[in-house]
Amino acid sequence: MLAVVPPPVTVRVPSKINLHLSVGDLRDDGYHDLTTVFHALSLSDEVTVAVAEEPGIEVFGEGEDAVPTDAKNLAWQAVEALAKHADRADPKVRVVLRKGIPVAGGMAGGSADAAATLVALTALWKLELGRDELAEIAAKLGSDVPFALYGGTALGTGRGEQLVPVLSRHTFHWVLAFDHRGLSTPGVFRELDRLRENGSPPRVGSHAPVVEALASGDPRQLALLLGNDLQAAAVSLRPGLRRTLRAGVNAGALAGTVSGSGPTCAFLCEDAEAALEVAAELAGAGVCRTVRVAHGPVPGARFVGGDDVN
Ligand code: C5P
């Protein structure tokens, strides 16, 4: 009898920026305690999983040459983690990543791919797993993976993996400036530790005003409150980012911030039209590799062309 091969499953997954990122001290396990406000953006990746005799990963799109296609890829680690959870030895699947999110850009692209892979494989293998159970597997893969499952806007604590949704009434419009090369996340955290040993780089205050600004939906109020403790470290490693941040504001953005560990810079704009104008001007300023517009918040990992089964 012929076995029925299930059709491939495709999931779209958002990128993230951190509207607020407060980094605590280095913990014994090598991580830092964080308090962060994650915000999911429409700039996204698409991940397709399919049953295949030859397991593996293929990558297309933004930064494809810089993405590993072996077990170093977090999406493949997601395959292995879910296979283990479901007691499936030797998973015969192919994962195709279509990248829109910059690689090593501080927008959690690798984490997004891992989250999308978990959601897609759950459907391909018809597993009975809800999003909260997937989030437990996701947290073991990386600090930003659970947020990519849920999307929206959320307060993250712990390593960033403990999430509480934050009310955000408004769609905010952003311009993103991609740099020529990525930055290593552990390297940026190490640089922050070094800067803190030798001085006192700026620290963001409480996240509470950011949460209030999100509830009010006023981009001008939110713009005053964007803050990221990792920015000083990213700028220290990549001094050109200072010029990029200035250029975005000169182009008419309300405010700019380094996204996560960088080097992508995110600029908040008054509305969609303003974002297009800022993007055009920034693209001509010669301070970055590429410019994109995006809006947020958007939902987390979702099936493309079908209903969400989770
Ligand atoms: O969790 P993830 O694998 O994405 O983290 C990558 C690296 O970033 C960690 O190995 C650590 O060096 C740094 N990190 C940290 N504190 C966090 C999250 C990440 O120091 N809360």
CA 100 to chain centre: 11
The residue type of 167 is L
Q: Which protein residue has the closest C-alpha to ligand 1 atom 3?
A: 142
- Could you tell me if 87 and 162 lie in one domain? yes
- Could you tell me if 197 and 254 lie in one domain? yes
**Cα end-to-end span (Å), the chain:** 31
- Could you tell me if 139 and 51 lie in one domain? yes
Annotated binding-site ranges for ATP: 102-112
Q: Is 142's C-beta closer than 6 angstroms to any atom of ligand 1?
A: yes
Specify the CATH number for the domain of residue 83.
3.30.230.10
Specify the CATH number for the domain of residue 286.
3.30.70.890
**Chosen domain end from 139, 167, 195:** 167
Atom of ligand 1 nearest to the CA of 160: 21
pLDDT band of residue 305 (cuts 50, 70, 90) is confident
- Could you tell me if 120 and 180 lie in one domain? no
**Chosen domain end from 167, 186, 218:** 167
Residue at 3 is within a domain: no
Count up the domains in the chain and report the number: 2
**What secondary structure does DSSP assign to 251-264, as a single string?**
TT-SEEEE-TTSS-
pLDDT band of residue 39 (cuts 50, 70, 90) is very high
Strands 227-228, 302-303: pairing is unpaired
Residue at 235 is within a domain: yes
Contact in structure between 69 and 58 (CB atoms under 8 Å): yes
Report the alpha-carbon distance of residue 185 to residue 143 in Å, rounded.
11
Contact in structure between 78 and 129 (CB atoms under 8 Å): no
What percent of the chain is predicted at pLDDT more than 70? 98
Domain that holds residue 91: 9-167
Amino acid 309: pLDDT:
46
- Burial (CB < 10 A; 0-12, 13-18, 19+), residue 285, is middle
Residue at 202 is within a domain: yes
Does residue 164 have a pLDDT over 50? Answer: yes
Q: Is 267 helix (H, G, I), strand (E, B) or coil?
A: strand
The pLDDT tens digits for 46-88 are: 999 999 999 999 999 999 999 999 999 999 999 999 999 999 9
Residue at 303 is within a domain: no
- Could you tell me if 211 and 125 lie in one domain? no
Active site residue 113: no
- Could you tell me if 33 and 149 lie in one domain? yes
Active site residue 25: no
Atom of ligand 1 nearest to the CA of 145: 4
Mutate to test the pocket of ligand 1, among 185, 229, 230 (most ligand atoms within 8 A of CB): 185
The pLDDT tens digits for 74-127 are: 999 999 999 999 999 889 999 999 999 999 999 999 999 999 999 999 999 999
Amino acid 208: pLDDT:
98
Residue of 16, 99, 113, 179 marked active site = 16
Residue at 96 is within a domain: yes
ipTM, 2 dp: 0.97
The pLDDT tens digits for 227-270 are: 999 999 999 999 999 999 999 999 999 999 999 999 999 999 99
- Could you tell me if 127 and 188 lie in one domain? no
Token output for 73: 């890829």
Residue of 45, 113, 144, 229 marked active site = 144
- Could you tell me if 115 and 176 lie in one domain? no
- Could you tell me if 284 and 138 lie in one domain? no
Atom of ligand 1 nearest to the CA of 158: 21
Q: Is 12's C-beta closer than 6 angstroms to any atom of ligand 1?
A: no
Q: Which protein residue has the closest C-alpha to ligand 1 atom 9?
A: 186
Average pLDDT over residues 211-227: 97
Residue at 306 is within a domain: no
Q: Is 190's C-beta closer than 6 angstroms to any atom of ligand 1?
A: no
Residue at 86 is within a domain: yes
Ligand 1 centre and the CA of 282: distance in Å? 31
- Could you tell me if 163 and 209 lie in one domain? no
- Could you tell me if 157 and 13 lie in one domain? yes
195-229 core/surface letters (b: 16 or more CB in 10 A; e: else): ebeeeebeebeebeebbebbeeeebebbbebbbbb
**Chosen domain end from 167, 194, 213:** 167
- Could you tell me if 181 and 292 lie in one domain? yes
Q: Is 34's C-beta closer than 6 angstroms to any atom of ligand 1?
A: yes
What's the pTM? 0.96
Residue at 307 is within a domain: no
Ligand 1 centre and the CA of 21: distance in Å? 13
Q: Is 138 helix (H, G, I), strand (E, B) or coil?
A: helix
Give me the chain's average pLDDT, please.
Answer: 96
Does residue 299 have a pLDDT over 80? Answer: yes
